[in-house]
Amino acid sequence: MFKAPSDSSDSPGIEPQHAPRLAEANPIMTAADDVIVIVPTYNEAENLEAIAAAVRAHGYRLLVVDDGSPDGTGEIADELVSTDDGIAVLHRESKAGLGKAYAAGFARALELGGEVLCEMDADFSHDPADLPRLIAAIDEGADLAIGSRYVPGGGADDWPWHRKAISSGGNRYASLMLGIKVKDATAGFRAFRADAIRRLKPETCDASGYAFQVEMAWRASEAGLKITEVPIRFRDREAGTSKMSSSIAIEAMALVTRWGWQRRFGRSSRSVDQ
Ligand SMILES: Nc1nc2c(ncn2[C@@H]2O[C@H](COP(=O)(O)OP(=O)(O)OP(=O)(O)O)[C@@H](O)[C@H]2O)c(=O)[nH]1
Ligand SMILES: [Mg+2]
């Protein structure tokens, strides 16, 4: 299990009016140990060991959130935890959706003292080698860094045309309905400053599935947080099977439509401070 978070209350006091603006003059690098990468898993037995090794190679901590995978992913996670202090696992009883898994994962990662909390899939669609670039964007002042397929340099090269169409159509619809300026609001490769997570309260999100990503991007943009999109090349999974289903896509469409109508004709938006 993880070490207890260190107490930062003994940090030296700096007179704000005389001190240089350290964040601008000399960006503070997040220590690797202060980063927790949250990886939700459902039937990822073929991928978990390799993804854990890739995260730990950077020195980042790993939190696996497993929803009672029948293929033994949870047991593999337990083995990893027993040999590495930098790995933790949160076992949940049954498959409750990516959004609920992340909400629970963020709550645990905050308890564990993470300063930068990342989201990453277990299937290598998100390249762990890109994690330092997301964290660098946080160090440079972003509250939320999104690994984006839709900024110059990003892409999803090996996706078939229909996956590309669903993804870009979903992003356009979210931007039209919600006014989100983010180019890749459905992306699931992200880094958040811990304070941003405390403010956005993921545990109060409506979405259980992938719409969670849109809801969090929307909340972040409504809250005026600084969002930086970092280009990434998304790759198709090589091992294991996709959990994407028509019911997940329908939930996303229905929720974005409902939020859009509420935004235009009802409550202006769901305040994150409620
Ligand atoms: N804990 C948990 N993890 C989930 C759930 N659904 C999906 N995941 C995980 O979330 C990540 C993304 O799911 P994928 O099946 O890869 O979905 P996707 O990336 O949109 O689809 P593909 O491109 O087809 O792989 C993977 O690590 C999954 O194991 C869930 O209900 N609970
Ligand atoms: Mg995937």
Distance from residue 43's CA to the centre of ligand 1 (Å): 9
- Domain residue extents for the chain: 30-265
pLDDT at 265: 86
Is pLDDT above 90 for 90? yes
pLDDT at 242: 83
Burial of 196 (0-12, 13-18, 19+ CB in 10 A): buried
Model confidence at 127, pLDDT cuts 50, 70, 90, reads very high
Between CA 48 and CA 67 the distance in angstroms is: 14
Is pLDDT above 90 for 270? no
Q: What is the pLDDT of residues 191-220, one digit of tens each?
A: 999 999 999 999 999 999 889 999 999 999
The residue count for the chain: 274
Is pLDDT above 80 for 11? no
Q: Which of 215, 211, 234, 203 is nearest to 106 (CA)?
A: 203
Between CA 183 and CA 146 the distance in angstroms is: 10
Is pLDDT above 90 for 273? no
Distance from residue 125's CA to the centre of ligand 2 (Å): 6
Within the chain, strands assigned E span: 35-41, 61-66, 87-91, 116-119, 144-148, 190-193, 227-231
Between CA 66 and CA 100 the distance in angstroms is: 11
Quick one: which atom of ligand 1 is closest to the CA of 163? 23
Q: Ligand nearest 41 Cα, by number? A: 1
Mean residue pLDDT of the chain comes to: 89
The strand order across the sheet containing 227-231 reads: 87-91, 61-66, 35-41, 116-119, 190-193, 144-148, 227-231
Model confidence at 247, pLDDT cuts 50, 70, 90, reads confident
**DSSP string over 135-182:** HHHHHTT-SEEEEESSSTT-B-TT--HHHHHHHHHHHHHHHHHH----
Quick one: which atom of ligand 1 is closest to the CA of 159? 23
pLDDT at 235: 93
Is pLDDT above 80 for 140? yes
Q: Could you tell me the CATH superfamily of domain 30-265?
A: Spore Coat Polysaccharide Biosynthesis Protein SpsA; Chain A (3.90.550.10)
Q: CA distances (Å), 25 to each of 19, 20, 22, 133, 136, in order?
A: 11, 7, 5, 19, 15
pTM over 0.85: yes
Is pLDDT above 70 for 46? yes
Distance from residue 204's CA to the centre of ligand 2 (Å): 25
Distance from residue 238's CA to the centre of ligand 2 (Å): 9
Quick one: which atom of ligand 1 is closest to the CA of 241? 15
Pocket lining for ligand 1, CB < 6 angstroms: 40-42, 44, 65-67, 95-98, 101, 121-123, 125, 237, 242-244
Is pLDDT above 50 for 5? no
Mean pLDDT of 170-187: 94
Distance from residue 154's CA to the centre of ligand 1 (Å): 21
Pairing of strands 61-66, 87-91: parallel
Task: Show the tokens assigned to 10.
Answer: 């003994």
